[in-house]
């Protein structure tokens, strides 16, 4: 098992995080090595995992505070929780039905704070949230760029970074993905400098992943 980024490990073609809990989240495999336990990070089930497999350097540190927008049932949130084992993850999810699984994941991990709220209205969770080092957005909506910018204006530290998984079909099903990606990058360019970008093929079709820093 070789550490390829802070808190992320590779064994052959597979990637792993060191398990912060012995509870499985989505049926993932566990591996023990030298008295430590690692969880397989399935790239086909995670946009961030796919980005790592495609060469993105996340640069997330073990003591970072992370705001995760579009947490869903907590699959990727749980791996981010492993990485920031001395920090925390504020996991925002709008659907109360989906969030039930997220809350269950958080019960076995001290550093996940589920937030049931609409990410379009970041003021809804200002009482529970503090400035963060990383904002990640995975919300497949037409206004996904605006959602990210609103939250970063309110919560992202000047020294922090923003990440987004852009789903072209959610913005327009009639235009070429490349056109959609260029349009969203132009919007984001007013607020961010793009540090890294990659398509998420073959794990996700017509998705672009960006890592950015505030201007």
pLDDT digits (tens, 9 = 90+) for 160-177: 999 999 999 898 888 999
Residue 10: pLDDT band with limits 50, 70, 90: very high
Residue with tokens 């809990």: 21
What pLDDT, on a 0 to 100 scale, did the predictor assign at position 171? Answer: 87
What's the mean pLDDT in 67-75?
96
pLDDT in tens, 28-68: 999 999 999 999 999 999 999 999 999 999 999 999 999 99
- DSSP label at 22? S
Mean pLDDT of the chain: 95
Is 149 strand, coil or helix? Answer: helix
- Beta strands of 77-204 (E only): which ranges? 88-93, 112-116, 132-137, 156-167, 192-199
CA neighbor of 165 nearest in space, from 211, 131, 215, 202: 211
As a dihedral over the C-alpha atoms of residue 44, residue 107, residue 35, residue 15, rounded to 10 degrees, the angle is 10
**Which residues have C-beta within 8 Å of that of residue 123, sequence separation ≥ 6?**
154
Given a cut of 90, whether residue 208 has pLDDT beyond it is yes
Give the chain's radius of gyration (CA, Å). Answer: 16
What pLDDT, on a 0 to 100 scale, did the predictor assign at position 141? Answer: 87
* High-pLDDT (> 90) share of the chain, %: 92
- All domains of the chain in start order, with CATH: 42-214 (3.40.50.150)
């Amino acid at each position: 098992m070789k550490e390829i980024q802070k808190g992320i490990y590779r064994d052959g073609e597979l990637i792993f995080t060191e398990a912060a809990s012995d509870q499985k989240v989505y049926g993932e495999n566990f591996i023990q090595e030298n008295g430590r336990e690692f969880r397989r990070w399935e790239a086909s089930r995670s946009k961030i995992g796919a980005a790592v497999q495609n060469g993105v350097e996340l640069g997330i540190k073990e003591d970072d505070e992370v705001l995760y927008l579009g947490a869903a049932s907590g699959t990727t949130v749980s791996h981010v929780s492993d990485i920031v084992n001395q920090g925390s993850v504020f996991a925002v999810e709008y659907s109360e039905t989906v969030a039930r699984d997220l809350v269950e994941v958080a019960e076995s991990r001290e550093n996940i704070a589920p937030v049931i709220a609409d990410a379009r209205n970041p003021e809804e969770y200002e009482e529970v949230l503090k400035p963060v080092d990383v904002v990640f957005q995975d919300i497949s909506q037409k206004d996904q760029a605006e959602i990210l910018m609103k939250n970063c204006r309110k919560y992202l530290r000047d020294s922090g970074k923003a990440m987004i998984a852009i789903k072209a079909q959610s913005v327009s099903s009639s235009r070429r993905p490349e056109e959609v990606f260029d349009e969203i990058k132009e919007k984001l360019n007013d607020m961010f400098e793009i540090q890294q970008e990659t398509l998420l093929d073959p794990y996700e079709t017509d998705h672009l992943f960006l890592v950015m820093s505030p201007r």
